[in-house]
Amino acid sequence: MTMTTSPTPAGRTSSAPGLGERLRTGFGLLGPRHSRHTLPVEQADALSLPMGDDGVVVGVNAEGQPAVLGVNRPTPYDIVLIGGLWTAQVMALRAAATGARVAVETGRAQAWMHMVHAMGGGQNGLAVYDVGRVPPQGASAGTPVLVVRDCGMRPPRGRVVSAPWQSVLTLLPYLSPVAPRLMRQARLVGVQRVSPDEAAEIGRVMGLPRPDLDTLPTLPDGVTLWCTERDRQYVVTRATDAETGLLGVARRMD
């Protein structure tokens, strides 16, 4: 096979394409030149990358590290939060910021409408529906969904349930007769400040040790005990300036 080269100006015998040819073809463009980054071999063991879960940062743990809740999952995921509206709304805002669509099922739409207006009238990831009126969301890996059920003490069984790429967060302001069933079914349970009697019932259902039962009635606003089958973690949710401007300061009661 014979290879030919483009002619070069007289007196020039380079076989590599010149700058004009590179600019014309779009290949081999000259970019910024930086010195190489090197690391001595003896320092290689000190090199690390801050890797963590992918999801919504719900606050910081006792060590001051970000506490991340992965709500966008390929498997059904149910969350129960026994706590305040403020925390649920912060989680909804942050889930929407990750690219998830948030569908709020609520009997107090007025408490959510300021968020809808702030986010562009429902066109940017958050929509509010009456109880029992949430339509199918069509969740997928490209468009994950978080359904927030703010339906009071005794939420009815939802028409839209957890599914692949569709998590459901059920907000309970207090412990109710349906709470034990919901907690047992959930993959994750969050508990904010409750009464001593409620703490005792939650401890019985979740298998909490005595120190947690004594702590739950004294939790400050914005602090949540998140529980899974194998782990427990106290998390402090601190709002950003934008979140504070929209939602106010952290509070357990509304």
pLDDT tens, residue by residue, 41-95:
666 655 544 434 568 999 999 999 999 999 999 999 999 999 999 999 999 999 9
What's the whole-model pTM score? 0.79
Q: What is the pLDDT of residue 148?
A: 98
Residue 30 has pLDDT above 80, yes or no: no
CA distance 145 to 164: 9
Q: Which pLDDT tens digit goes with each residue over 109-167?
A: 999 999 999 887 656 689 999 999 999 999 999 999 999 999 999 999 888 999 999 99
Q: How confident is the model at residue 5 (pLDDT cuts 50, 70, 90)?
A: very low
Q: What is the pLDDT of residue 64?
A: 92
Which residue in this structure is represented by tokens 């947690």? 212
Q: What is the pLDDT of residue 40?
A: 72
Q: What is the pLDDT of residue 229?
A: 86
> What three-state secondary structure class fits 245?
helix
Q: What is the pLDDT of residue 119?
A: 84
Six token digits for residue 223: 């602090």
Q: What is the pLDDT of residue 26?
A: 46
Residue 27 has pLDDT above 50, yes or no: no
Q: What is the pLDDT of residue 230?
A: 87
What percentage of the chain reaches a pLDDT higher than 70?
Answer: 78
Q: Which domains does the chain have, with CATH numbers?
A: 56-247 (3.40.50.300)
C-alpha to C-alpha distances, 30 to 5, 11, 13, 33, nearest whole angstrom:
21, 24, 21, 9
Q: Which of 163, 190, 201, 232 is nearest to 80 (CA)?
A: 190
Q: What is the pLDDT of residue 170?
A: 97
Q: How far is CA 41 from the centre of its chain?
A: 38
